[in-house]
Chains A and B, each alone.
Chain A
């Protein structure tokens, strides 16, 4: 105990010089590197969405470099959703909280139609899945597929949930949103959504593969 003070002091000094040694993995662990631009056209929008829940997609394998999902475990865990053209939209908004904290809000919007028993069954399944949590695969305008609802900081602890559902008949014939069901999935989490690797993205583009249930 004679040197207790020295040991504590030394530990504090090491902590100040090498703070990463005392931080859990996933916090402040990415080092800054060169960003090289890719010379290609950029396309906005999203075209395809697949949905899974926590019980169906049981594990995600993520490669170290590049940082992407290389495998999803589960029996065809992601289900096809036929949305109205150009209604799929994914927003990922990060914002600082206070001085050092960070929060990312994901919102996925899409529309389906027409209101009937089939759409009702789908809506009910989203309502029932929501308490456990939902994951979504979104294919963006550049042809890159992403898993939203899982990230390397929170893992699967902050999945998407059904945030909003809206249906209006509209008055008369001149209402573009008339009788369209608008669905919104959202979450607030600590980490960025993760891209799928080329093989899994190709499955999403083709609409067939071991991670997708299409029929």
Chain B
């Protein structure tokens, strides 16, 4: 699993998203790596760019 880093200004935000047919809610500062991976799959613009992406 890639080391996903949330943008500093987004850390206090909360994301509501659908996963496995139910609603999930997570505060970005408290998100687990698994949750961040799901948000990455949703193509959310909340992550710092990796060295590769830069």
- Chain A residues within 8 Å of B, Cβ to Cβ: 25-26, 54, 58-65, 70-71, 73, 150, 152, 154-157
**Contact at A73–B23, with CB atoms within 8 Å?**
no
Known: A58-B42, A59-B42, A61-B44. A156 touches B23 (CB 8 A): yes
**Does B51 sit at the interface, judged by CB under 8 A?**
no
Q: B14 at interface (Cβ–Cβ under 8 A)?
A: yes
Which chain A residue lies CB-closest to B28? A61
Give the size of the chain B interface in residues (CB under 8 angstroms).
Answer: 18
Evaluate contact between A62 and B23: CB separation under 8 angstroms.
no
Contact, CB under 8 Å: A58 / B12: no
Q: Does B13 contact A (CB under 8 A)?
A: yes
Q: Check A64/B14 contact, CB under 8 A, given A152-B25, A155-B25.
A: yes
Q: Is the CB of B39 within 8 A of A157?
A: no
Give the chain A neighbours of B14 by CB distance below 8 A.
Answer: 61-62, 64, 152
Cβ–Cβ contact B13 & A62, under 8 A: yes
When C-beta atoms are compared, the residue in chain B nearest to A154 turns out to be B23
Expressed in whole angstroms, the minimum distance between the Cβ of B19 and any Cβ of chain A is 9
